[in-house]
Chains A and B, each alone.
Chain A
Amino acid sequence: MISPDLVRVRRRGERLEIVQLKGPTRLEAERSCEEILSAVRAAAGKSEEEVEQLLLEIPRSPSAEKLFAGLCKVALDDCEFEAPLELDAVELRRVVFERAALRRKDPAEHGFVRAEILAEASRELGQAPELVERALFSDLKGARLLVRTPSVSAPELLSRYERGQVQGVLLRAVRIGLDVVCTSPDAYRALFRKLKFRRLLHRIESRPGGAYHIEVDGPLCLFESVTKYGLALAQLVPALDECQEVRLSADLRWGAKRTPLKFEVVLGGQGQGHLASVRDEVQALLGAVNRPGTGWTARLGSELLDIPGVGIVVPDLALEDAAGHTVHVEVMGYWSREAVFRRLDWMSAQGQAGVGRAQTESAGSGKQRVRLLLAVSSQLRVSPDVLPPDANGGVYVYKGALVARALLEHARALVEAGA
């Protein structure tokens, strides 16, 4: 991540923009990446201070100072440094400084002669004076030796820098708004898991085309614009990149005077595939349900269900029968039993309250009745009997693999029970 003082930005009125790398600047940045990586790789075994000095010696234009410093920061973040000597520098200093103090205050001694003191201390330590001199501050950060050089290529370094710029700006964010489109429920889940993990709060509204608008900030933002959550917001960027497309807008407090500014950026589409893709078992179900003759159609889930006490639930599939009844399926697989039971508690409570069907506030679309069917692996040791007859959902416990026919029977039972 790049600190806010190193990001290359410009103000346009009330907005802050990242200065894009293009034309000659991009060429210079690409060249700098090559040179920085080459210099750092050649400096293996040198001290951090020496590595930084070597980097400073790389020629660059005066106007590219900040760009260069940012690239160096990203490159050094990918390095590993270690303390150079096995000697205990703290103990060594204690011996040397105590001996020096004795010599200084004792009038019987012949004044303060540095070389003599070092020689005496070295004898006590059983080391050569030159080694003692060299090791005196060998534990400081700048004295650590470079033991692992960056593994990234020059284009990767530049790409990390550009993402680092966005994160650097978001460190000063007090709130972000996200217009999100995800092709995979897992990407939505990853995003909401991140929000919860970072202890952020959100409001959701649905938008046309299966998109959602999510406002994200922290509890204290209700009273004042604080950047306390800036780091947590910046740390969302990797999860946002897993989405298909995200339009991010942020309210910032920028610079020494914390000037209120707006910032916008488009993220997403950079997923590594593990979240953007659909799990094999869900893909198989999709194909099986959509075969002719099942009486049902299936599509990947895109609804976000905001369930009190549970949070955001993202079904994997939406099943629809010929009469237009929809059943949302969440494949719990090997999730925790706790997650399953939280959902079961909610289903039971809703049923007992006489609601009959899951009544959740589906994001942005007001109160909607939804039928939620949980597909749970038998390894989680959950019995469908725990649900009361009037619960507004169902549980399909499967052994080994999911079976489309069994799933549809549960879905049909759910529809009939509530018809």
Chain B
Amino acid sequence: MALQLAFEAGTLTLRGWSSAASLPEAFVWDDRAALYRAPALAYAEIVTQLTRSGISYEDQARGYTEFAPTLHVQREPRPFQLEALSAWRGARHRGVVVLPTGAGKSHVAVLAIADRKRSTLVVAPTLDLVRQWASLLSATFGCEVGLIGGGEFSVLPLTVSTYDSAYLHMDRIGHRFGLLVFDEAHHLPSESYALAARASLAPFRLGLTATPTRADGKDALLDELIGVVVYQRTITELSGQYLAEYRTERLSVELSAEERQAYQEARDTYLGFVRSQGLRLGSPQGFRDFIMRGSRSEAGRRAVEAYRLQRSLALSAAGKMRVLEHLLDLHRQERSLVFTEDNRTAYEISRRFLIPVITHQTKLRERVSILEGLAQGRYTAVVTSKVLNEGVDVPTASVAIVLSGSGSVMEHVQRLGRILRQQEGKQAVLYELVSAQTVETYTSERRREHVAYKKRPAAS
């Protein structure tokens, strides 16, 4: 019986092995199915080992095709994009390219697809980005592009998927692509999404991100799933020449007297409980212990409610709405993106100022229409909570207003990135509204721990 290498459920199986030859290292015996099995990720290594050993085999695993993509839109690559491509080639077509948002990471992927000429799956974190990638690839290569996610499932030589759908379906489609492109690749090292990379046999892999570092330290996993960082440039290196000039302003907003009193009372209640329980919120387990003990008594429940109230008062202070109104008026001839920490505030802003809102509940068709409306000037502002944090391309947007957010550096840098796409004469500005003398001041300090916010002093 000829040696047969096959792709099964996100793994590689080997049948007909004779014990005379040495087995490729990645294979282990699977007595559930009475065959040898290896992770699909090991395909390139296995094929190399079999070939080097002069072992003939029937490759039933490889389901991807070679195709000759024609670049229908020729764009002169920027020097750093060519450098990135060259570095990726030098790493045997596996690796991560780190470039700031707006610098043209997606064009590096286009160059990689044209270079490798293999069926390609692009994986992106949101439906907006999937739509954006599909549109870019279709226009660039002049072909139909497959879509997976948001109710769509069509697999073509060029296909775009969400991370969620890639995780769900890769064990069935992982043999159909020779090149994987992970956009916003810092998402990949989560337990679930990493399986999408492991269940694919694609020998060529490209990761794109502006923020490779993860708070949980799992970014090291990218080396195994994609490859090492092969090229990196920062916002400050590219600002002015390849990215829009920008400034950031932190605006301190006072709470009203009523808000201040309610804030202080809620904070006293919450911190009083924390002290009475001997909890240390600074410790890694501290907040979890607080929530756990908060569920055990009436006083605890009141403390948890008070915690939420004081946080909500700081994030959604009435004064912020007045400042927002002023900023929307000030920049009424420009395109603004308003970011909030939660959906409730986003909808409240939409209802109050009658500007379109995009949240996870917004269906794809309406999202597309809203973003087109913003690009064409039918809308001057869009409010969102988190779904526009990453990747979504709004070249005309020049104003970002962060009404509220988390302490995540990554989130804050990504939000800034939304307005950095270069356009002639563009001067971008990011406003950060912070409630004075509240916990939000500390949150703001944490999220500004990035070179992008150190370049220019905050003008608060």
- Chain A residues in the interface with B (C-beta under 8 A): 62-63, 65-66, 90, 93-94, 96-101, 104-105, 112, 114, 117-118, 136-137, 140-141, 199, 201-203, 215, 218-220, 222-223, 226-228, 258
Q: Which residues of B contact A112 (CB under 8 A)?
A: 329, 353
Interface residues as binary, B39-71 with A (CB distance below 8 Å gives 1, 0 otherwise): 100000000000000000000000000000000
Number of A-B contacts (CB under 8 A): 99
Q: Whole-angstrom distance from the CB of A161 to the nearest CB of chain B?
A: 18
* Closest Cβ neighbor of A100 among chain B residues: B354
Q: Are A65 and B295 in contact (CB under 8 A)?
A: yes
Q: Which residues of B contact A227 (CB under 8 A)?
A: 191
Q: Are B328 and A136 in contact (CB under 8 A)?
A: no
Closest 4 A/B residue pairs (Cβ): A100-B354, A219-B9, A201-B32, A105-B332
Q: Are A97 and B300 in contact (CB under 8 A)?
A: no
12 contacting pairs across A/B (C-beta < 8 A): A62-B301, A93-B366, A97-B356, A101-B355, A101-B379, A104-B380, A105-B332, A112-B353, A140-B361, A199-B9, A203-B31, A220-B195
Task: State in angstroms the CA–CA spacing of A140 and B348 once bound together.
Answer: 14
Task: State in angstroms the CA–CA spacing of A94 and B378 once bound together.
Answer: 10
Q: Are B33 and A201 in contact (CB under 8 A)?
A: yes
Q: Are A219 and B171 in contact (CB under 8 A)?
A: yes
Query: Main SS of chain B's interface residues?
Result: mixed
Task: State in angstroms the CA–CA spacing of A66 and B301 once bound together.
Answer: 12
**Known contacts A93-B356, A222-B37, A226-B195; A105/B333 CB under 8 A:** yes
Q: Which residues of B contact A63 (CB under 8 A)?
A: 295-297
Q: Are A220 and B9 in contact (CB under 8 A)?
A: yes
Count chain B CB atoms within 10 A of each CB in A199, A223, A226, A258 and give the residue with the most: A223
Q: Whole-angstrom distance from the CB of B379 to the nearest CB of chain A?
A: 5
Total interface residues in chain B, CB < 8 Å: 47
Q: Are A222 and B28 in contact (CB under 8 A)?
A: yes
Q: Are A228 and B192 in contact (CB under 8 A)?
A: yes
- Chain B residues in the interface with A (C-beta under 8 A): 8-11, 28, 30-33, 37-39, 167, 171, 191-192, 195, 198-199, 295-298, 300-301, 328-329, 332-333, 347, 350-356, 361, 363, 365-366, 369, 373, 378-381
Query: Which residue from B30, B191, B354 sits with its C-beta under 8 Å from A222?
Result: B30
Q: Are B354 and A219 in contact (CB under 8 A)?
A: no
Q: Are B11 and A219 in contact (CB under 8 A)?
A: yes
* Closest Cβ neighbor of A141 among chain B residues: B361
Q: Are A136 and B379 in contact (CB under 8 A)?
A: no
Q: Which residues of B contact A215 (CB under 8 A)?
A: 32
Q: Which residues of B contact A96 (CB under 8 A)?
A: 354
Q: Which residues of B contact A219 (CB under 8 A)?
A: 8-11, 30, 37, 171
Q: Which residues of B contact A98 (CB under 8 A)?
A: 373, 378-379
With contacts A97-B355, A220-B171 known, what are 11 further pairs, Cβ within 8 A?
A62-B297, A97-B354, A97-B373, A97-B379, A140-B361, A220-B9, A223-B11, A223-B28, A223-B39, A226-B195, A228-B195
Q: Are B329 and A104 in contact (CB under 8 A)?
A: yes
Q: Whole-angstrom distance from the CB of A312 to the nearest CB of chain B?
A: 13
Q: Whole-angstrom distance from the CB of B349 to the nearest CB of chain A?
A: 12
* Closest Cβ neighbor of A61 among chain B residues: B298
Q: Which residues of B contact A90 (CB under 8 A)?
A: 363, 365-366
Q: Which residues of A contact B380 (CB under 8 A)?
A: 101, 104-105
* Closest Cβ neighbor of A65 among chain B residues: B295
Q: Whole-angstrom distance from the CB of A246 to the nearest CB of chain B?
A: 20
Task: State in angstroms the CA–CA spacing of A96 and B366 once bound together.
Answer: 14
Q: Which residues of A contact B332 (CB under 8 A)?
A: 104-105
Q: Which residues of A contact B365 (CB under 8 A)?
A: 90
Q: Are A203 and B32 in contact (CB under 8 A)?
A: yes
Q: Which residues of A contact B297 (CB under 8 A)?
A: 62-63
Task: State in angstroms the CA–CA spacing of A98 and B366 once bound together.
Answer: 13
Q: Whole-angstrom distance from the CB of A105 to the nearest CB of chain B?
A: 5
